[in-house]
Amino acid sequence: MPLFSHQSFNKKGEQTSGKIDASSIAAAKDLLRGQGLMPTQITALAESGERQWYSFLFDRPIEFKSIIVFTRQLAVLLRSGVPLLQAIELLTEQFDGQMHYVLVSIKDGLKSGESFASELGKHPRVFSSIYIQLARAGEASGKLEMILDRLTVYLERTEEQKNELKKQ
């Protein structure tokens, strides 16, 4: 689905701006109005996960902590009974920059019927091979939330070890 940027006014008359994922400008207007916003400008951005090649030059690399937060939040959402696609949609709104575009790409792949692990595999600079393989095992066994919990612990320990090495 295309991504749109918008400038709107909320019910208090304050100007807001942001990004919204919708199938068309009309759908974006409807979604914004449903959120209690009055859109003044809606602009189509690059198609979902596709961006101009040079736009990545200005993005900061995804921090390891962002991957830990994503993994933890996804595990919590799945454990509470939220379907995977809906959980990814919710988390897409939580992140900015390159991580946002990665999650939009994953969400679009899930909507087209791809598996979660195969979508993670399309982003090898973000998700390590062990992350992808554990996600694949979690999907196959039906225990993705448990695997993600354990993966969060593993990632946190890895981050602690990196920080200890930097101190020495």
pTM, whole model, 2 decimals?
0.66
For tokens 């890895």, name the residue. 158
Exposure pattern of 103-117 as b/e (b: 16+ CB <10 Å)?
bbbbbbbbeeeeebb
**Residue 40 sits in the same domain as residue 60:** no
Q: Please indicate, yes or no, whether residues 73 and 113 belong to a single structural domain of this protein.
A: yes
Tell me the pLDDT of the chain (168 aa) as tens digits. 567 788 888 888 888 888 887 777 888 888 888 888 888 888 877 544 444 444 555 556 788 999 999 999 999 999 999 999 999 999 998 888 889 889 999 998 898 899 999 999 999 989 999 999 999 999 999 999 999 999 999 999 999 999 999 888
Q: What is the pLDDT of residue 85?
A: 93
SS3 for 117? Answer: helix
Note the pLDDT of residue 58. 52
Pair (34, 70) in one structural domain: no
Give dist(CA 107, CA 91) in Å, integer: 10
* Cβ-based neighbours of 115, under 8 Å, separated by 6 or more: 136, 139
- CA nearest to 106, candidates 65, 91, 60, 76: 91
Residue 25 inside a domain? The answer is yes
| 142 and 82 within one domain | yes
What pLDDT sits at residue 2?
A: 66
Domain with 28 in it: 3-45
CA distance 89 to 36: 20
Same domain, 122 and 85: yes
On whether both 145 and 65 belong to a single domain, the answer is yes
What is the reported pLDDT for 20? 80
Query: Does a structural domain hold residue 50?
Result: no
